[in-house]
Amino acid sequence: MRALVIGAGFSGAVVARQLAEAEWCVDVLEKRAIPGGHCATHLDPQTSIPIHTFGPHIFHTDSAPVWELVCRYANMHPYLHIVRARAGGEIYPLPITLQTINQFFRKSFGPTEARAFIEDKRVKLSGPPRNFAEQAVSMFGHELYEVFFKGYTMKQWGRSPEEIPADVLKRLPFRFNYNQSYYFHRHQGLPKNGYTEVVAGILMHPRISVHYGVLHAPETPTAGYDHVIFTGPLDEWFGYSFGRLPYRTLDFENFVVDGDYQGCPVMNYCDADVPFTRITEHKHFAPWQSYEKSVLSREYSREATPDDERYYPVQLAEEQATLQTYRTAARESHGVSFVGRLATFRYIDMDVAISEALEAARCILRARADKVPAPTFPHERILTRW
């Protein structure tokens, strides 16, 4: 059996590996010169500091199988992600914790007092939150929303928070204790040698051939393959025949300083009049090393043009008709599965991408054994089951 995988990020690499271990021969096409997709890392030539090329990526999961898979190919170093927020001339812990609440309101609450205090601040809605703004004020009231989230969200998405889905905020924890770790998962860590090496290790199998610098196009030959796995942008597969799906892209402004610039890996800039959204200080992603200098990246968000990297799918009501047209066309396709963030037009974390890639491989192998068509969107099997 032969498979063609388009894209050598985590999604494509995991599917390729699973099929190869099932004795399929797999060709992988990757447009870049290295594997890893948006998780790719590289060493800064001036300082030798490992850089998260496309922005910070922290591995966190509650899935034992996903964690075991990553540890099979990486030396994972324990790491708890710490984020700070600069707002109104002060610096606060983020996500919002008991310390954030006490500092912002100039209080000294315990957890029970803080819960009661925030309960009085919350806006009681007559129904489920319809957008980001309603989700925020229903969680913790207008004051925290206005200072920490309104301006940042407008910069990140280029739209009013009233236009952004409520689910975007649900990704962020809200705590009544002093736990300052950004994530609250059983397994958290960073690969000591970077994500690029991890993905390269997954792809290292005698039945996998990786072809770098190959840009996919609708006319890319797929004949002779028993199945195709596509991990690129959904609209790209169809040659943008129904129009382009909207994405936000990022611009990075890198600079080098002596010593330690901000004392944490990521500083969010919440004020609307600051043009960038955050600054990443990369050496804090390698706390097991010591560096005299520091490399930082200011991050600016804007609408993606046809020539840009696509990072965040814009899930707005007015775009749903185009998206559904593409999804219908995908379901009518034969011999191809769409896997990963770009191909399913969803913002998902690395561990979810790996879990869904494992499921995609299982679906393909099961369909082949049962002599039935493989699902075009294998991740929907997981969503249905759960």
289 by Cβ neighbours in 10 Å (0-12 / 13-18 / 19+) ranks as exposed
Distance CA(60)–CA(68), nearest Å, equals 12
Instruction: Confirm whether 277 is domain-assigned.
Output: no
Residues 159 and 33 in one domain: no
- Domain final position from 143, 170, 197: 170
Extract the tokens encoding 296.
């930082």
The DSSP code sequence of 343-376 is: HHT----HHHHHHHHHHHHHHHHHHHHHTSPPPS
- Domain final position from 170, 197, 220: 170
Q: State the number of CA atoms in the 13 A half-sphere of 282 facing the CB.
A: 26
pTM listed for this prediction: 0.92
Closest CA to 46 of 297, 295, 296, 299: 295
Cβ atoms within 10 A of the Cβ of 226, count?
A: 15
Residues 59 and 89 in one domain: no
According to the model, what pLDDT value does residue 385 have?
36
Q: pLDDT of the chain along its 386 residues, tens only?
A: 999 999 999 999 999 999 999 999 999 999 999 999 999 999 999 999 999 999 999 999 999 999 999 999 999 999 999 999 999 999 999 999 999 999 999 999 999 999 999 999 999 999 999 999 999 999 999 999 999 999 999 999 999 999 988 888 877 889 999 999 999 899 999 999 999 999 999 999 999 999 999 987 777 778 889 999 999 999 999 999 999 999 999 999 999 999 999 999 999 999 999 999 999 999 999 999 999 999 999 999 999 999 999 999 987 766 678 999 999 999 999 899 999 999 999 989 999 999 999 999 999 999 999 999 898 999 886 544 33
According to the model, what pLDDT value does residue 342 have?
94
Q: Structural domain tally of the chain?
A: 2
Distance CA(56)–CA(268), nearest Å, equals 12
Distance CA(281)–CA(260), nearest Å, equals 8
According to the model, what pLDDT value does residue 386 have?
30
- Cα-based torsion angle of the residue sequence 194, 199, 204, 205 in order, rounded to the nearest 10 degrees: 150
Residues 239 and 321 in one domain: yes
Which residue numbers are catalytic?
A: 171, 175, 248, 278, 299, 347, 349
According to the model, what pLDDT value does residue 347 have?
85
Distance CA(284)–CA(262), nearest Å, equals 10
Q: What is the CATH number of the domain that holds 49?
A: 3.40.50.720
Instruction: Confirm whether 218 is domain-assigned.
Output: yes
Residues 116 and 223 in one domain: no
According to the model, what pLDDT value does residue 382 have?
53
Domain that holds residue 217: 2-79+187-244+313-385
